[in-house]
């Protein structure tokens, strides 16, 4: 019994501890006592378990503001004062070392702003076509075929496929086709305003059921139901109607069809369908029927001319749709009884087209995933370099302040105060550089947009949260960068630091070295990248295309000539400086995409080979060479129907020799032809791709090119003027517009080239930031070693031995990073170069060169500081102590 009395039941200790943890000092005794009393009463009544529970419930009920400990009630005022002090000291220390602060702030600002601008570009590329509300259900039908081991993908399919899809495919909700007439320029006219328009799409009236192009005026439902209607973008409407309301006005299409303006759209800059005008496909069909130039396109199963977009009933049905389409398309939808070419029909997501599709006859200029990711990677690298730089400099800088820390500690500063001091400083720097980077972004975006022909923007004001994230990010980076030095330095023992033993410590400088190596690994890889891109671009630009493109103009509306061409040609022959006029395929421009199935007699499989329709003068006009046989000649009347030439690539593809190819017969469903000659390979299409096998056939239509022989630009201009006079006399109904061929060809590579230059720019920026960091570190090191240098000088060291002593330490770091980055650079460059048909080979000297460049740049960054140090008078440096 006696023992039991001692064992008075008590509530679980942790519950009581919880109460004591949160409860105010002056209340806790009273409450705890009351609860204990209550508990004992309950134990007697209900037993222990229930009482424990009730006890805890009571404690929870006490968990209210009135019972809470008031934390730091007295310290709160002090916090503000301390913060003010941190800020003052921070500003003072920034001002004290102006150059390093400037390097820090500017470097970080450049890093942040480049990162933001590049991410804006990446997001803009990733956002293509996302504005269509049904985008997740829209696919594009495409096909590919095998020809001699190579697969060719085509983004367009035949026109009548639409009706087959709508009738036979339960998955399909709607089908919309787009078509663009590349072969004949279109003019639009309203009153006195006449323009040649390049961005006209023919489409189906249901287009707005599938796509959400934003309407500013007009009714999307009926906008294109009449064949004589047109929908245009706001900017395009301004060209013709100024500030008048365009709805209900008429516009003249190619001099004879009056079209009613039924809708105005806001231009969609982030869409693969880059058009200014939408016109019903029916109009084109009727016109062609009238002109009798093409078969009825709705019944034409030969020509793949329509970009065909399918709205599926649900996204999951793509799989079954693809399967059905593939099976159905393997015999070309029942059109070819014994197919000899494998057609693979399939579909691709609308959202994948812009970045992932790379086929023949794409609807617009696509980006590529690798470009976008490349940009994203460089953006991150720049940010990383800038942050490493920042951390490095902050750390280095703060070791200078060991004495200050010692004194502060002696005066009673807690560790937490010191930590806050350093974190405040680095956050101050990041906030300053964030503000600076906002200015830089504002400067960079317009330049970037005009240079890259982009429409990127950073939507600060639409997204306040972005702004918030921006500053939050800055504070986090600042906090992180400040935390290392603050935790490290606040540990220092005041006795030690005040004694003068203020060297930062071994571990610290190792970390700095690692960071420098990291930065230079990135910079080195970027330099290798720059050199490789530059060499490759030069190779492509300097590559002899194999044909003559100088002093040649291509007439915009030349393809409208048929029989009048002879008349036009004879008129031009009167102009002395005109040396040639040619109608037909223009070398260097995109060729005919439609491929003809050509049957070699001794081959079982038919091969698809592109066909170029050319005139009699093609060979001379473009300065091409014949390898064997002869070219088309007027002396052989059968040349226009029974003769073809092929190029060397075709000879190789068919396994012939230049001589044995002669006389071989090709047959298609329409003609049976004989090879009369072989032409030397010339690069008519993109230099990114190898020369394709192709066939040349004599014909009397196509673009008209005129070639001059002029000594200077003034003479050339007057010759072009003479051509214009002849044109206006013969074809007054069409405007005289032309483009220089060499310019036109160069434009094809413009996007690549600009992208390359942009990458180079940002890579240079990254290297610049890294060098700024190195410069800062050198400044710091030199400052720390002044005494050592003084002693060395007193003992007789020369300037150069001191300089090399300082530089050696840094250059070793640069060399180490070079050794690491060279293989990485090799790997990346090799990958990139594989996309080119004509590519440079990666030589050792490329790497040696870039290693030299980075070493040189690094050396220059350090040299001035080490020279400065070496020239200092030892009397001054050794004066202290």
Partner 1 sequence: MKGTYLGEFEELVLLTVGILHDDAYGLAITDELESRTKRNVTISSVHKALVRLENKGYLKSHVGGASKERGGRAKKLYLLTNSGKNALKESRSLRNHMWNDVPKIVWEGGNI
> What is the binding site for partner 1 (CB under 8 A)?
8, 10, 27, 29-38, 40, 58, 61-62, 64, 66-67
Minimum distance from CB of 54 to partner 1 (Å)? 10
Q: Minimum CB separation from partner 1 for residue 92, in Å?
A: 44
- The SS3 of residue 588 is coil
Minimum distance between the CB of residue 428 and partner 1, rounded to whole angstroms?
41
CB of 666 closer than 8 Å to CB of 599: yes
Closest distance of CB 8 from partner 1, Å: 7
Q: Is 54 exposed, middle or buried (0-12, 13-18, 19+ CB in 10 A)?
A: middle
880: phi then psi, degrees, rounded to nearest 5: -65, 140
Q: How far is the CB of 51 from partner 1 (least distance, A)?
A: 14
The token pair that represents 512 in the structure block = 């700095």
SS3 of 668, please? coil
CB of 49 to partner 1, least distance (A): 19
Least distance between partner 1 and beta carbon 35 (Å): 7
* H or E stretch at 252: strand 250-253
Please state, in angstroms and rounded to a whole number, the distance separating the CA atoms of residues 3 and 454: 89
CB of 72 to partner 1, least distance (A): 21
Shortest spacing between CB 30 and partner 1, in angstroms: 3
> Cα–Cα distances in Å, from 515 out to 381, 423, 510, 532, 750?
13, 20, 9, 26, 37
Sign of dihedral through CA atoms 793, 794, 798, 799? positive
Closer Cβ to partner 1, 54 or 315, answer by number? 54
Helix 25-46 with 13-22: angle, nearest 10 deg: 150
Query: Rounded to an integer, what is the distance from CA 144 to the centroid of its chain?
Result: 27
Other beta carbons within 10 angstroms of residue 468's beta carbon come to: 10
From the CB of residue 507, how many other CB atoms can be counted at a distance below 10 Å? 9
- Which residue in this structure is represented by tokens 């693979």? 344
Nearest distance in Å: CB 44, partner 1: 11
Tell me the chain's radius of gyration from C-alpha atoms: 38
Q: Which is nearer to partner 1, 36 or 534 (CB)?
A: 36
Dihedral sign for Cα 618, 622, 623, 627, please. Answer: negative
CB of 47 to partner 1, least distance (A): 18
Nearer to partner 1 among residue 66 and residue 461 (C-beta):
66
How many of the other CB atoms lie within 10 Å of CB of 29? 11
If the CB atoms of residues 30 and 590 are measured against partner 1, the closer one turns out to be 30
Exposure letters 360-369 (e unless 16+ CB within 10 A, then b): bbbbbebbbe
Contacts 24+ apart (CB under 8 A), 619-625: 619/679, 620/580, 621/580, 621/582, 621/705, 621/707, 622/547, 622/548, 622/549, 622/582, 622/587, 622/682, 623/547, 623/548, 624/546, 624/547, 624/587, 624/679, 624/680, 624/682, 625/679, 625/680
* CB nearer to partner 1: pick between 68 and 451: 68
Nearer to partner 1 by Cβ, of 64 and 450: the residue is 64
34 versus 235: smaller Cβ distance to partner 1: 34
Are residues 344 and 365 in contact, defined by beta-carbon separation less than 8 angstroms? no
DSSP 692: P
Nearer to partner 1 among residue 16 and residue 357 (C-beta): 16
Nearer to partner 1, 34 or 625 (CB): 34
Q: Give the closest residue to 838 by CA, choosing from 587, 437, 539.
A: 539
Q: How far is the CB of 490 from partner 1 (least distance, A)?
A: 40
The rounded distance, in Å, linking the Cα atoms of 724 and 557 is 12
In whole angstroms, how close is the CB of 7 to partner 1 at the nearest point? 12
**Calpha distance 881→878 (Å, rounded):** 8
Give the residue with the Cβ less far from partner 1, 32 or 209: 32
- Which residue's CB is nearer to partner 1, number 4 or number 670? 4
Of residues 30 and 663, the one with the C-beta less far from partner 1: 30
**Which residue lies nearer to partner 1 by CB, 31 or 431?**
31
By three-state DSSP, how is residue 260 classified?
A: strand
Residue 10 beta carbon to partner 1: minimum distance, rounded to whole angstroms: 7
Q: Enumerate the β-bridge partners of residue 264.
A: 217, 232
Nearer Cβ to partner 1 (37/327) = 37
Both tokens assigned to 783: 């400052």
């Amino acid at each position: 019994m006696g023992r039991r009395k001692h064992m008075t039941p008590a509530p679980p200790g942790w519950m009581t501890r919880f109460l004591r943890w949160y409860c105010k000092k002056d209340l806790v005794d009273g409450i705890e006592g009351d609860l204990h009393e209550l508990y004992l009463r309950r134990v007697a009544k209900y037993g222990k378990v229930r009482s424990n529970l009730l006890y805890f419930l009571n404690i929870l009920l006490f968990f209210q503001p009135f019972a809470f400990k008031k934390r730091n009630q007295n310290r709160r005022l002090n916090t503000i004062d301390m913060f003010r002090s941190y800020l003052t000291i921070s500003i003072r220390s920034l001002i004290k070392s102006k150059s390093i602060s400037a390097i820090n702030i500017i470097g970080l600002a450049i890093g942040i702003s480049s990162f933001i601008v590049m991410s804006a570009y990446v997001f803009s590329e990733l956002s293509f076509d996302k504005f269509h509300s049904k985008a997740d259900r829209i696919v594009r039908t495409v096909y590919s075929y095998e020809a001699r081991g190579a697969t060719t993908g085509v983004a367009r399919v035949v026109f009548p496929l639409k009706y087959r899809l709508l009738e036979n495919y339960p998955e399909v909700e709607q089908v919309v086709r787009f078509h663009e007439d590349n072969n004949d320029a279109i003019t639009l006219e309203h009153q006195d305003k006449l323009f040649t328009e390049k961005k006209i799409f023919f489409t189906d009236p249901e287009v707005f059921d599938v796509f959400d192009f934003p309407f500013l005026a007009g009714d999307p439902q009926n906008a294109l139901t009449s064949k004589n209607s047109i929908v245009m973008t706001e900017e395009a409407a301004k060209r013709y109607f100024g500030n008048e309301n365009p709805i209900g006005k008429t516009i003249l299409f190619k001099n004879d069809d009056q079209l009613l303006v039924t809708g105005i759209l806001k231009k969609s800059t982030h869409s693969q369908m880059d058009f200014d005008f939408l016109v019903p496909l029916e109009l084109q069909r009727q016109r062609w029927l009238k002109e009798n130039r093409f078969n009825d396109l709705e019944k034409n199963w030969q020509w793949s001319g329509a970009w065909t977009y399918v709205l599926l009933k649900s996204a999951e049905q793509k799989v079954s749709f693809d399967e059905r389409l593939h099976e159905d398309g393997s015999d070309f939808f029942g059109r070819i009884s014994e197919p000899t070419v494998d057609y693979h029909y399939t579909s691709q997501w609308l959202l994948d087209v812009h970045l992932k599709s790379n086929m023949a006859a794409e609807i617009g200029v696509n980006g590529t995933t690798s470009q976008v990711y490349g940009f994203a990677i460089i953006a991150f690298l720049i940010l990383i370099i800038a942050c490493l730089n920042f951390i490095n400099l902050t750390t280095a800088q703060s070791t200078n302040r060991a004495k200050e820390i010692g004194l502060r500690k002696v005066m009673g500063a807690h560790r937490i105060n010191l930590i806050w001091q350093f974190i405040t400083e680095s956050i101050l720097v990041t906030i300053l550089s964030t503000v600076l980077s906002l200015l830089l972004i504002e400067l960079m975006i317009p330049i970037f947009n005009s240079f890259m022909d982009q429409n990127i923007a950073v939507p600060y004001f639409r997204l306040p949260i972005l702004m918030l994230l921006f500053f939050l990010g800055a504070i986090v980076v600042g906090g992180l960068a400040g935390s290392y030095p603050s935790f490290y330095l606040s540990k220092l023992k005041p006795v030690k630091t005040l004694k003068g033993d203020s060297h930062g410590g071994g571990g610290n400088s190792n970390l700095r070295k690692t960071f420098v190596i990291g930065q230079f690994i990135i910079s080195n890889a970027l330099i290798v990248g720059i050199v490789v891109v530059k060499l490759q671009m030069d190779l492509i630009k300097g590559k002899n295309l194999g044909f003559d493109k100088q002093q040649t103009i291509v007439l915009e509306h030349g393809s409208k000539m048929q029989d009048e061409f002879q008349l036009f040609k004879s008129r031009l022959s009167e102009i002395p400086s005109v040396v040639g006029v040619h109608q037909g395929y223009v070398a260097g421009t995109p060729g005919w995409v439609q491929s003809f199935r050509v049957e070699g007699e001794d081959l079982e499989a038919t091969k698809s080979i592109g066909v170029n329709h050319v005139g009699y003068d093609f060979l001379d006009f473009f300065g091409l060479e014949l390898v064997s046989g002869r070219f088309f000649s007027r002396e052989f009347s059968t040349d226009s129907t029974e003769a073809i030439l092929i190029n060397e690539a075709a000879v190789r593809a068919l396994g012939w020799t230049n001589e044995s190819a002669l006389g071989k017969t090709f047959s298609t469903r329409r003609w049976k032809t004989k090879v009369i000659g072989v032409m030397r390979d010339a690069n008519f299409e993109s230099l990114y791709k190898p020369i394709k096998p192709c066939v040349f056939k004599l014909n009397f239509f196509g673009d008209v090119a005129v070639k001059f022989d002029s000594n200077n630009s003034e003479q050339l201009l007057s010759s072009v003027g003479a051509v214009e006079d002849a044109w206006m006399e013969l074809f007054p109904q069409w405007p005289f517009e032309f483009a220089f061929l060499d310019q036109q060809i160069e434009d094809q590579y413009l996007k690549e080239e600009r992208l390359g230059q942009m990458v180079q720019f940002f890579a240079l920026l990254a290297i610049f930031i890294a060098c700024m960091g190195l410069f800062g570190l050198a400044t710091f090191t030199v400052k720390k070693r002044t005494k050592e240098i003084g002693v060395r000088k007193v003992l007789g060291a020369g300037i150069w031995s001191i300089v090399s002593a300082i530089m050696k330490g840094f250059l070793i770091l640069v060399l180490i990073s070079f050794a690491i980055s060279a293989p990485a650079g090799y790997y990346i460059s090799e990958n990139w170069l594989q996309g080119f048909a004509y590519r440079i080979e990666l030589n050792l000297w490329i790497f040696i060169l870039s290693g030299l460049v980075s070493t040189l740049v690094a050396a220059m960054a350090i040299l001035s500081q080490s020279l400065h140090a070496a020239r200092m008078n030892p009397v001054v440096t050794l004066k202290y102590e």
